Amino acid sequence: MSKFTLRAVMTFGLLMMLWMNAFSQNSSLSGKVVDDKGEIVIGATIVIKGSPISTATNQNGEYTINQVPLGKTTVTVNMIGYSSMDLPIQIVSGANVLNFNLNSSTNDLEEVVVIGYGVAKKKQITGSISSVGPKEFNTGVVSSPDQLLAGKVAGLTVNRSGGDPTAGSTIQLRGPSSLTASSSPLYVIDGVVGANIELVAPDDIVSMDVMKDASSTAIYGSRAANGVIFVTTKRGKAGKPVLSYSGYAAIERVANRVNVLSAAEHKQFVADNGLTVAASETGFDTDWQDEITRTGVSHNHNLSLTGGSEGTRYNASVNYFNNQGIVKRSDLERVVARVGIDQNAFDDRLKLALNVANSMNKSNHVDYGIFNGAARYLPTSPVRSDDVAYAPYNGYFQVPGRTNYFNPVAMLNQRDEERNNNTLLASLKADLTIFKGLTWTNVISYQQNQFDKKYYMHRTDFDSKALGRGFAERSNLKNIDKIFESYVNYNVTKNLHSFDAMAGYSYQKTKNNDGVVASSVGFMSDDLGGNNLNLGTLPDGYNPYSTYPYILESLLISVYGRVGYNYDEKYLLSASVRRDGSSKFGKNNRWATFPSISGAWRISRESFMQDQDIFSELKLRMGYGVSGNQNIDPYRQIIIFGPQNGQFLYNGNWMNAYGVNQNENPDLKWESTSMFNAGLDFELWRGRFGGTIEYYNKETKDLLYEYDVPSPPYQFNRLLANGASMSNKGVEITLNAVVYRNSDFSYNTTVNFARNINKVGSLASNIENIGVSQRYEGSIGLDGWTGQTAAIVLPGHALGTFYVANYMGYDEVAKKTIYQKPTGELVTQDQISAPDDYMVMGQALPKFTYGWNNSFQYKNWDLNFFLRGMYGNQIFNATRADLSRLQQANVTNISKDAVEEGIFETPLIASSRFIEDGSFLRLDNATLGYTFSTKESKYLKNARLYVSGQNLFTITKYSGVDPEVSLGGLAPGVDNRNYYPKTRSFLLGVKLTF
């Protein structure tokens, strides 16, 4: 044996002896992790700092680590949605115990948050990210998870006008950024890009992280101009099986009604003003709003089972939600089932995560025309009549010949619309640790949505399309989304230097609208509704070849990367780039690049900050990035032919005529949003007070806009092209404070404020001689208001600019309303020419929005209330205009406000008379709960009972039903009669863990 070999063997033996000696001195460490309310934290990661030794808390919030070396060490605990915590401990021989009490404040700079293709501590983030956890979510009857965030994130507007359980929300982040494409953010659910948010039940969510600036969102390129929202759901944890249940029962009522005359008040008004009502419309006392509404009863149940071993863990849950609308015959029933399995292999070098989720929605919809009818129909008219004249309407009272005047109860009961929406998402994620610091991740996902709609108008429906024959329409469409992502992450730390890098590839194929839409009329019975179209015949003028235009297919291919550098957690830099290629755009512009760069300086880590005890954290951030918007139909860049009126003779046969329905545009490209962001994060007095202040400047160019073009030379008179621009600038402030805390009582509060200034830059296109100087929006559609609009898209002004006649008052002698022309001339209503005599008269977008959350805890009791609102926005109250026809009170109901106003000239133009202050402050929800002690129970580990109220009061000057009208589209802030009433709800809920 050579000397070298002998020395090697001896050295190896010595090392083995030392290792075995150290091993024999190892001891165990165990403990429990709870939050600031004493509730267990499941799935928290426990790490012996500076070593690879780690574990996770089980379903009881407990952990155990064996083979911990003796001596002084530091233990770290991390959990998404909570502050991370480091605690020192002296490990002695035998059993050691170390418990953790985590702070659940989502504003804490130590919080772990999700970023694009990874996670990071908030103090290491260089971009703008806001995180919201379950304890901050809005409580109450929530029909969609996005409503959990309403008012919780500065700059994020979640607007749900009315209380329709089947309606979605309008979501905007840092103002509107498009004229034609969607303004909704991109959702990433457990790493699956573009997943449907309805696939997640609120009880299954661990955290929602909102990426707001382009330096954060650019890694998602062409889909991220409106921001990105990460949704992280619960995962299985090692330990005995744990069963959890949460549920509530709620009642909902109409929060506010349209203030119209009652039967007695109406009878008195027409008598006082010499008006005559038809005999058939008198003698009754009908509250039409009461006839179509009810007290809604809703309930929600969530059952989950989780457990497993260290190598295999599972989490399964099922959620049942039944939301009965406060309008009769409207409801939503949904079942969401989720299964997640995590498998570790090869000494934890390979980690597999399988997720399957299925959402099954069944909803019944009502025609929104019933709200117009309930407000306008005379209260002295009956719901039904025995007169033979009303037999064709199944006995419902109707008034033929009166425009837009329908019996709302008849419309409610004679129009059936049922929708079934089934969404399936399956994903498999594989993380392979090639060597320490280098991980290769592959994610494959399949999402399918099956939509079915059955619509039927009874044979006795007042509408001429259905009267005497019935009308049915059936839709059945399928959408499929397939995504493959492959990326590597590398990170290394040496002394004070940390470096990380990520590079990846993405492939996404989408196929939408695969199905059919068909209609039929001429039914002998209403019994089958829209279930059998064969029992009818083709509608008049119906072209079976144009029932649905075409299947929509698109392809998106991407490469992306990110690098980061961190010196002593003091100076942080990050840069990313993404290259996207999309089939949605013209052949000349299918590829685009989206870069970003950002940096942060943790001032509190500097030596000159170490001798002060005020700032425990102070960080300055800056970033710039570019992201895009490709949320349009995939065939807008090509020429499209479609059916035209008429036929032509070909080879002796009459053929249906076809012609150009869309022009080709080979230069069509992405909308591009660049954003500069600067932020200051701070924490004072060891977390007693903290917050974030942000400034941003967002510029969007190459906006897609449909222009009028001459034909010829164009084959069609409209063209979708790029060219318009828009900007949003603003400030966001979030402040949080632990006002008071001792062993029995605590009070925490959080305030957020956002100010955004929107401006349309240009409406010119990138094509020479094609463009517009302004565009009129917000069609009103009232009787006699033909062609009237309330808003304008005008360069130099914000979206939602009201452009109407300037109302100056009422001439009581002449009984004429007076208006001022742009020239200053005072004229009457009949002398106003729309829109030439209109002026800029108001703004629908708010000057600022705000939210204020307050949490109290006294021993086992907890109380939370949340207020939110907006200020400086205006509303065009078209409902009030429609109910101000005092001269026509014999044929339509009027509002009490109109009677008090006393203006007898019927309004026929849009004017500033109907623009009102839409500012409001709302007590959005309040919750009182009690957590029971379960120490004596063998099976019950947690039990909480709570009561909650939603929309408890609203302070506003607005005279309409509710000031929270839609802020989406090109004409936000128009209250145009047909809104589902806002609800007020009260619920009783329980949470149990076994």
String of DSSP letters for 28-96: EEEEEEEETTS-B-TT-EEEETTSS-EEE--TTSEEEEEEEPSEEEEEEEE-BTSB-EEEEEEE-SSEE
Kindly state the DSSP code that residue 396 receives in the 8-state scheme.
B
The Cβ-side half-sphere exposure at 978, using a 13 Å CA radius, reads 10
**Distance separating alpha carbons of residues 184 and 21, to the nearest angstrom:** 60
What is the dihedral sign for C-alpha 389, 395, 399, 400? negative
The domain covering 119-240 belongs, at the CATH homologous superfamily level, to TonB-dependent receptor, plug domain (2.170.130.10)
Domain locations along the chain: 23-102, 119-240
Q: What is the mean pLDDT of residues 227-239?
A: 91
Kindly state the DSSP code that residue 185 receives in the 8-state scheme.
P
**Tens digits of per-residue pLDDT, 645-686?**
788 888 888 888 888 989 999 999 989 999 999 999 999 988
**Distance separating alpha carbons of residues 307 and 993, to the nearest angstrom:** 13
Find the largest Cα–Cα distance for the chain. 125
Question: Which SS3 state, helix, strand or coil, does residue 526 take?
Answer: coil
In the prediction, which pLDDT does 871 show?
Answer: 97
Question: Do residues 472 and 533 touch, judged by C-beta distance below 8 A?
Answer: yes
Q: Report residue 74's pLDDT band, with 50, 70 and 90 as the boundaries.
A: confident
**Distance separating alpha carbons of residues 105 and 478, to the nearest angstrom:** 42
SS (H, E, C) 374-388: HHHCCCCCCCECCCH
Residues present in the chain in total: 994
Phi-psi region of 348 (alpha: psi -120 to 50; beta: other; left: phi over 0): left
pLDDT of 291 higher than 80: yes
In the prediction, which pLDDT does 67 show?
Answer: 79
Question: Which SS3 state, helix, strand or coil, does residue 278 take?
Answer: coil
pTM, 2 dp: 0.86
**Distance separating alpha carbons of residues 136 and 850, to the nearest angstrom:** 15
Lowest mean per-residue pLDDT among 51-65, 101-115, 243-257, 590-604: 101-115
What are the residues whose beta carbons fall under 8 Å from the beta carbon of 87, sequence distance 6 or more? 74, 75, 77, 98, 100
In the prediction, which pLDDT does 52 show?
Answer: 66
Element (H, E) at 669: none
CATH architecture for segment(s) 23-102: Sandwich (2.60)
Lowest mean per-residue pLDDT among 6-10, 73-77, 266-270: 6-10
Q: What is the mean pLDDT of residues 215-237?
A: 91
Q: State percent of the chain over pLDDT 90.
A: 62
Q: Report residue 776's pLDDT band, with 50, 70 and 90 as the boundaries.
A: confident
**Tens digits of per-residue pLDDT, 549-578?**
578 999 999 999 999 999 998 999 999 999
In the prediction, which pLDDT does 699 show?
Answer: 96
Question: In this structure, what are the phi and psi dihedrals at residue 569, rounded to the nearest 5 degrees?
Answer: 50, 30
For 353, 733, 875, the CA distances from 775, given in Å and listed in that order, are 50, 34, 19
Domains 23-102 and 119-240 agree in fold: no
pLDDT of 38 higher than 70: no
Q: State percent of the chain over pLDDT 70.
A: 95
In terms of DSSP bridges, do strands 826-828 and 118-121 run parallel, antiparallel, or are they unpaired? unpaired
For 627, 674, 701, 757, 969, the CA distances from 727, given in Å and listed in that order, are 14, 10, 9, 8, 16
Q: Tell me the two tokens of residue 752.
A: 């957020």
Kindly state the DSSP code that residue 494 receives in the 8-state scheme.
E
In the prediction, which pLDDT does 81 show?
Answer: 65
Question: In this structure, what are the phi and psi dihedrals at residue 266, rounded to the nearest 5 degrees?
Answer: -65, -45
